[in-house]
Amino acid sequence: MYQAVVTLPVAKVEGQELDNFTRHLLRRFQPFVWMCVWTILITGVGLMLFDPRFVFFLYNDRWSVLLGVKQVVFAAMVFFSFGYARMLSRVDDMLMNDESSESVKPFYNQMLMLGKINVALAIVALLVAAGLNS
């Protein structure tokens, strides 16, 4: 959310989307993202396994179906996070090799799209989690 709502819009307004400092900020934030992924995974699995309503691969009530949806959304978020990290790495490598910003722009736009998809999936995951508690 921070990158999508704060860092990248400010860099765009300042005309420094592909600037070294902006890419440095994006790279420095990645360990925090992966820390959050692992924390969510560990706590989510723990809460799921200790809930008396949980039965492996049995989707016979609303709670079980929502849990399954949440797991699929989380898996998609991890998939798109890997894609985002790969695109950022590719953009970095291309700019380090002095490629033109025009040739880098499609990869940068792909990275932005993956980030937006991840934000949308995070919102869906929060709504599904809220449905689990009701």
Residue found under tokens 């790969």: 86
Q: Does residue 75 carry a pLDDT above 90?
A: yes
Residue found under tokens 């978020």: 77
Residue found under tokens 């490598």: 93
- Residue 71 sits at φ, ψ, to 5 deg, of -65, -40
Separation CA 82–CA 49 (nearest Å): 26
The per-residue pLDDT for range 78-94, each reduced to its tens digit, is 999 999 999 989 998 99
The range of the structural domain enclosing residue 100 comes to: 2-132
Q: What is the pLDDT of residue 106?
A: 92
- Contact (CB, 8 A) for 111 and 87: yes
The per-residue pLDDT for range 41-61, each reduced to its tens digit, is 899 899 889 988 888 888 889
> What phi-psi label fits residue 61: left (phi over 0), alpha (psi between -120 and 50 degrees) or beta?
beta
Q: What is the pLDDT of residue 35?
A: 92
Q: Total structural domains in the chain?
A: 1
The predicted model scores a pTM of 0.82
